[in-house]
Structure 1
């Protein structure tokens, strides 16, 4: 008699242990927030720009391809840095989520992502020229803290199993969420503390201590008809709060007067340095100067005028004895931005180039270059207006290539003769048109307007303040009812009439006639 044997039952192996998608993402995000918070806290002690987020953002700005830079300027304008902040934050969040997703079973994959991001932060801080070696503490500690939090929270959410067939009971989702939120809250407190600590040594405190700046050579009083603001033109002097701002600084550099100095070196007979007190103790000069950004489109508003207070740049350069072979003045900002100015213009005593320390009756605003900046009339800002300047090196053109020259912009950048229409409206049965024209260091001779394809008609000019400032204009036009195109053009004091040939800002400034549509 045969005995039937019962077939052995197949034991189903246990499901692999792994984190859920939401919990894995939480682990990565908690590590990211820790990195940013701790990095910002340490940066409060070693230098605000050592914050990994700030350093990486500036690295992106400094190394972006030329096409990307041009696109950002045209598309985003002055909002480019805000968009960069948002974009960088989104990218970091995606990497944090990725770190969690590749670590659902074991933390190793996420640890690699965290370390790679941390190394990027260390490299970005290492490259900066406006912080010392101690600043590397911020990204290094940030990396260590984020790696620790990632590993600790991962092990808490998914305890190591010594027996895969009998996994230990892990924490509930609520418990993991509670710890993750606790970590994020702690990192947020650290970030706020870092911000507060940075503020105690900020440039604002130093700026407030400067006191009034009194020019030994004051600019003449403005004539009463320097502008036609009541007719629609801008005020002749642009308030500091409205003055256009274009620069590459992701975060405004915080430079205190006692830490600032200007070095003049390179092709000079003697290297010299000036402290803020050295500059402040010299006889100060005040000048009205209109500044224009090369990115300004035809009819654009990236142009402003201020009363700058400072010293003649040529006097400082004479102290160094610039050699005849020097072709460019290579200026460097505290944040590493570089700018090339033709040496012959910087050395021209008739140009009126300044090392400015004041603007519109007060010390330079921090966002406009405090403690000191270069201002050279008649040149677009990218070759003449270095903010937070700390170094002027004289060199050949082949020796150095500055930030914008590396990106295809021109070496020589005289401001083009241009005009724009600021307002055009029907008043008392006539079309009143008003606007602005500029040809810095040459001066405006006349401004003309035309309706549709009609004849050019003269306008009334404001009183000229000096050849380095803009000039306002206005006129009343008799036009029939209906829709019309009003166009403006200016002629400078050399006899040149601005061209109607449209040109993009790259490589040496936009050109063309500005037109607006009106309904009479």
Structure 2
């Protein structure tokens, strides 16, 4: 005799829910990221081949984390359904599949660098509960075949487990969220820099012509990181340790940093994954302290060429020490962004901001550890995955108005007297933009530049040109203050940043 397929699958799925609920509760008590589902998601992300990771980023953009969770959910449910179907006559095959899932969750937790020894208790508890419930429900399912009361008893048992699993998961989430990040941010209060950012001059952007605004709002600032769930760290509990090849190991609390003479500087950050013409670049006023000062206090020993920074969630990055010690570059340990404490998604309580280097080697969020070491001895998270160890931002430019594929009517208002304004942004952090040229069907025009605010920020441009009726190709290229004009050779972002001229096509009526 066999269990019906639906009932066998129900046994497995309900057991999975019980396992995940208990695992989430235990994780909330010990370490939220040890929750089996979250841990497996992190593990899948970390072991995925470089080509798969890049395909996901190219295909799904900033939704790649959601897609990862959906993918993990589909696989886990698929294995769970298989466990149920294999157990229609006896529970042993399903128990083996469920145990294998538990082992994977344990491996996922054990391989996480940010989880302590207690982290393993979450997947272990999850596995034990899942196996016990599976065996118990499987026994309840057999009488259900024979009489109506048995079926009712099975349904009551399954419903009770589902309700209990849901309640347990909710309690686990509440416990895991016991660190109130927004309350901690509020307690930090207003950040008043001793050296504020310069007042924006007239003409700092050409937003009226379609360029971005000079300062990107916190809400609109791009976000790229490896965190599947945002770390929850209070300012009161945060510590930063600087050690390794230093004269003296030093540790700072948030109060130690906040009580210093804070500086505020505009800095443009860019992601190495940004395609030509892409939007993974933003500009903000950052508030913090010079990283150089902290490193000088620790005393950097000769031979240390890499600062190996670690986030609270285990992400690591390697930054060239000479960039951090350069007083003209202005590398910061930032605690504020656009006049307020860092938002949680942008690294609260503290993060690194290093002008002129792509974020994967320089912009560690939720940073808690900095080790002075060498590039020969350690590699940051993205280096074994195919990215270059040192990543200076490349001179680039982008067309923001008009959009690719737009149709421009010649109605006397949109294009008065047949002329159109083309606008965008260019960047060459630490060097500065000298010139921007716009090509319309191979005829090049020099654009007007916005008022320069700082060489560490982007610079807007615009030009008014005559666009004849028909399909028109528009390109842009920038020249930085070193005299370098960006190449037209197209290159993908990997391994050290995309190159090429941003090119669009518009239709003029």
Specify the alignment match of 2:452 in structure 1.
464
Alignment of 1:10-21 (within 5 A): 17-21=1-5
Q: Encode CA deviations 1:380-412: one digit per residue, 9 max, x unaligned.
A: 111110111111111122211111111121122
Question: Partners of 1:378 and 1:22 in 2: how far apart?
Answer: 58
Partner of 1:56: 40
CA contact (8 A) 2:304 2:372 kept: yes
Q: Hey, what's the Cα distance between the residues in 1 that align with 2:302 and 2:180?
A: 40
Normalising by structure 2, we get a TM-score of 0.95
In structure 2, what is the equivalent of residue 103 of structure 1? 87
Report the Cα distance in structure 2 between the residues aligned to 1:389 and 1:493, rounded to whole angstroms. Answer: 33
Among 189, 203, 219, which residue is 1:211 paired with? 189
Name the CA distance, whole Å, in 1 between partners of 2:76 and 2:197. Answer: 51
User: Which residue of 128, 134, 157 maps to 2:118?
Assistant: 134
Q: Which residue of structure 1 aligns with residue 419 of structure 2?
A: 430
Is it true that 1:237 corresponds to 2:226 in the alignment?
no
Report the CA distance between 1:202 and its aligned residue.
3.4
CA displacement at 1:519 relative to structure 2: 1.8
Residue among 64, 78, 83 paired with 1:80: 64
Structure 1 residue aligned with 2:464:
476
Distance 2:42 2:258 in 1: 31
CA distance in 2: counterparts of 1:411 and 1:137, whole angstroms: 36
Q: 2:135 aligns with which of 148, 151, 163?
A: 151
Contact 1:333 1:386 survives alignment (8 Å): yes
CA distance in 2, matches of 1:382, 1:201: 27
User: 1:515: which partner in 2?
Assistant: 503
Structure 1 stretch 389-398 or stretch 507-516: which is displaced more?
A: 389-398
1:395 to 373, 385, 393: 373
Corresponding residue SS for 1:407 = coil
Q: How far apart, in 2, do the equivalents of 1:181 and 1:484 lie?
A: 63
What is the deviation of 1:170?
8.4
- Please give the alpha-carbon distance, in whole angstroms, between the structure 1 residues aligned to 2:25 and 2:19: 10
Listed as ranges, the gaps of 5+ residues in structure 2 are: 403-407, 409-413
**Does the 8 Å contact 2:99/2:131 carry over to 1?**
yes
**Alpha-carbon distance in structure 2 between the residues aligned to 1:140 and 1:412:** 40
Q: Report how far residue 68 of structure 1 moved.
A: 1.1
After superposition, the CA RMSD in angstroms is 1.6
Which moves more between the two structures, 223-232 or 299-308? 223-232
Decide whether the 8 Å contact of 2:179 with 2:233 is kept in 1. no
Are 2:401 and 2:423, in contact at CA under 8 Å, matched by a contact in 1? yes
Q: Does structure 2 conserve the Cα–Cα contact (< 8 Å) formed by 1:420 and 1:514?
A: yes
Q: CA deviation at 1:174?
A: 4.9
The structure having more radius of gyration, on CA atoms, is: 1
Q: Distance in 2 between matches of 1:368 and 1:133?
A: 28
Distance 2:182 2:43 in 1: 25
Deviation at 1:475, TM superposition (A): 1.3
Normalising by structure 1, report the TM-score. 0.93
Deviation at 1:38, TM superposition (A): 1.4
Partner Cα distance (2:19, 2:148) in 1: 26
Partner residue in 1 for 2:275: 297
TM-superposed deviation, 1:317: 0.3
Partner deviation per Cα, 1:338-382 (whole Å, 9 max, x = no partner): 101111112212110000011011111111111111110001111
